[in-house]
Amino acid sequence: MGESTSSGPAWIAEWMESHGIALWGMADLRGFDTPEDGTGQRLPCAVSWAIPMNPRVMVSIRNGPNREYADEYARVNGLINELSGELAARIRAGGFRSLPLAASERSDPVNIRGSFPHKTAATRAGLGWIGRHCQLVTRPFGPWIRLGTVFTDMEMDCGPPTEKSFCGHCTRCVEACPARALKGGSWHPGIPREEILDAWACDRWKKQHYFQFHKGHNCGICSAVCPHGLKLLKRKVK
C-alpha cells in the first residue's frame, strides 16, 4: 500500500509524485451522501491521499498532546488544504467538476461531524481500514497521517475498497483512552460510529483537559499507542 491503490488519468499519478505523496487512490462514492458542489449536484467519486505526520512528534503524545503536536497537526492540515485546492483546480481545468474537502472542519458541531468523513473516502479507495480508535490505519504509516479528499465527476478506475479490519485482538488504543470513549468495536463498512466511539465523551474530555490545543480539538493518545504507528518509528530509527 505504499503506492497508488487504483488508477486514473496519468497526470494524477504525476501530480502525486511531484508532491511527494506515496499513498493515494480513487474512491467510488456512488450511493454515499457526498457534499453538493456549487451546481447543487453530488459528485460520485473522490481522489483520496494521506500525508504522514512526524513519527517523533506522534510518539511524544502517548501521555497527552503537546504544543509540538498541535503545531504539526496545523501544519499538515494547512498543507492538505493547499494541495486540495490545487488538485481541484487542475481537475476543473480538464473540464470536470470538483470539490475539495477541508481538513478537520467540523460543519456539524452538535453531532461532532464534518460534511463527509475523509476516512470513508480513504477506505473506499483502499488506503486502509478503520481502527478501534475510529481513525484510518494504513500499512505504510499506521494511523499517523492526515487525509486529503477531492470529490469529482471525472471518470476513474476506483478501489478496490478495504472492507475488513486488520486490528486483530489488539485493544491498546481502547485501554489508553483517558476519556473511556472507545467502545472496542471492530470496524466493518456500514458499522455505526457509536459502536466504536462515544464522540461526545471524547469531545468533552479534550475540551476539559486540552483546550489550549486548538480549543480542545487535539488529543491523539489513541493514535500514539497504535502498534502500526510504532512500527514506523522503529523503521525510522534503524
pLDDT digits (tens, 9 = 90+) for 137-167: 999 999 999 999 999 999 889 989 999 999 9
pLDDT at 1 (0 to 100): 38
Low-confidence residues of the chain, pLDDT below 50? 1-2, 237-238
C-alpha cell at 16: 502525486
Q: What is the DSSP letter of 7?
A: B
- Write down the pTM of the prediction: 0.92
Query: What are all long-range contacts of 231-234, with beta carbons under 8 Å and residues at least 24 apart?
Result: 231/142, 232/55, 232/140, 232/141, 232/142, 232/144, 233/55, 233/56, 233/58, 233/59
Residue 160, preceding peptide bond in cis (omega within 30° of 0): yes
Question: For position 232, what pLDDT does the model report?
Answer: 85
Question: Which residues lie closer than 8 Å to 101 by C-beta, 6 or more apart?
Answer: 35, 46, 84, 114, 115, 116, 118, 121, 148, 149, 150, 151
Q: Cα dist. 212→64, 95, 218 in Å?
A: 12, 44, 9
pLDDT tens digits for 104-121? 888 888 888 889 999 999
